[in-house]
């Protein structure tokens, strides 16, 4: 029972505003998410020798979200989104396997005011939808994700670098022909063939008096295509 965590408690405060005009829509949201006893991975072993998540007393996420759609022409929508956030842990203790310790005890390292793992400070997107005539729509979307850490130590040697990629799709809708509607579509994901990874994990240990860190990443697919047929009865 000693390895059982406490339950998490989240208190979320948000304030939003929206503005709409004939050719412009803007939405703004600010938020503050305050955690009590959030579960995080510290590297600590439980009573059966498995890595487990441990409660940290105080942590939070706070930031601002912006989204806008501009319609300069009836056939064109330009859309954009942006998020800036801070995702912090007030203090926690990292546990590192120490093979030099004769008692096989883990080394403890204290950290203060660090970034949460897999929580980029900046996320953005920009794209457009072009409708040259009824039924046909061309969509382009470019997304950017800032640096994010593989663990909760804010260590620059254990992070996923910022990346961006673009998707494009072309859809044609046929209405009231046998069925209520038929949508034919083709989508090219990562059209610019960006080389990036968006996930991974890190592992480390102490041996021979030195700290070794090993990072593992999940590379994402290069340029790829999808086709679809959607029938609405």
- List phi, psi (to 5°) of 192: -90, 5
List % helix, strand, coil for the chain (3-state, nearest 5).
0, 70, 30
Task: Examine residue 41 and state whether it is found in any structural domain, yes or no.
Answer: no
Q: Would you state the pLDDT for residue 52?
A: 74
CA–CA separation, 196 vs 146, rounded Å?
Answer: 12
Task: Examine residue 11 and state whether it is found in any structural domain, yes or no.
Answer: no
Structural domain including 185 reads 69-232
Task: Examine residue 47 and state whether it is found in any structural domain, yes or no.
Answer: no
How many distinct structural domains can be found in the chain? 1
Q: Would you state the pLDDT for residue 45?
A: 64
Task: Examine residue 43 and state whether it is found in any structural domain, yes or no.
Answer: no
Task: Examine residue 51 and state whether it is found in any structural domain, yes or no.
Answer: no
Task: Examine residue 96 and state whether it is found in any structural domain, yes or no.
Answer: yes
Task: Examine residue 223 and state whether it is found in any structural domain, yes or no.
Answer: yes
Q: Would you state the pLDDT for residue 1?
A: 46
Q: Would you state the pLDDT for residue 177?
A: 79
Q: Residue 222 is encoded by which pair of tokens?
A: 């290069």
Per-residue pLDDT tens, the chain, 233 aa: give them.
455 778 899 999 999 999 999 999 999 999 999 999 998 877 676 666 666 778 899 999 999 999 999 999 999 999 999 999 999 999 989 999 999 999 888 999 999 999 999 999 999 999 999 999 999 999 999 999 999 999 999 999 999 999 999 999 999 998 887 888 899 999 999 999 999 999 999 989 999 999 999 999 999 999 999 999 999 98
Contact assessment for residue 190 and residue 223, using Cβ atoms and an 8 Å cutoff: yes
């Amino acid at each position: 029972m000693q390895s059982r965590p406490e339950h998490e408690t989240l208190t979320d405060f948000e304030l939003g505003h929206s503005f709409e005009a004939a050719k412009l829509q803007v939405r703004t949201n600010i938020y503050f998410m305050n955690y009590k006893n959030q579960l995080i991975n510290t590297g600590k072993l439980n009573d059966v020798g498995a890595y487990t998540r441990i409660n940290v007393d105080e942590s939070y996420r706070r930031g601002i979200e912006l989204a806008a759609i501009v319609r300069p022409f009836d056939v064109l929508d330009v859309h954009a989104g942006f998020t800036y956030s801070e995702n912090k842990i007030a203090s926690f203790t990292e546990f590192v396997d120490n093979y030099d310790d004769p008692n096989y005890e883990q080394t403890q390292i204290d950290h203060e005011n660090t970034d949460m793992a897999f929580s980029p400070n900046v996320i953005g997107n920009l794209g457009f939808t072009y409708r040259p005539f009824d039924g046909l729509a061309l969509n382009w979307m470019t997304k950017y994700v800032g640096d994010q850490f593989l663990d909760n130590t804010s260590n620059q040697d254990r992070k996923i670098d910022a990346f961006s990629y673009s998707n494009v799709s072309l859809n044609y809708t046929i209405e009231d022909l046998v069925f209520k509607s038929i949508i034919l579509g083709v989508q090219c994901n990562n059209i610019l063939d960006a080389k990036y990874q968006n996930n991974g994990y890190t592992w480390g240990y102490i041996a021979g008096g030195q700290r070794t860190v090993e990072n593992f990443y999940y590379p994402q697919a290069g340029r790829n295509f999808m086709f679809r047929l959607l029938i609405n009865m």
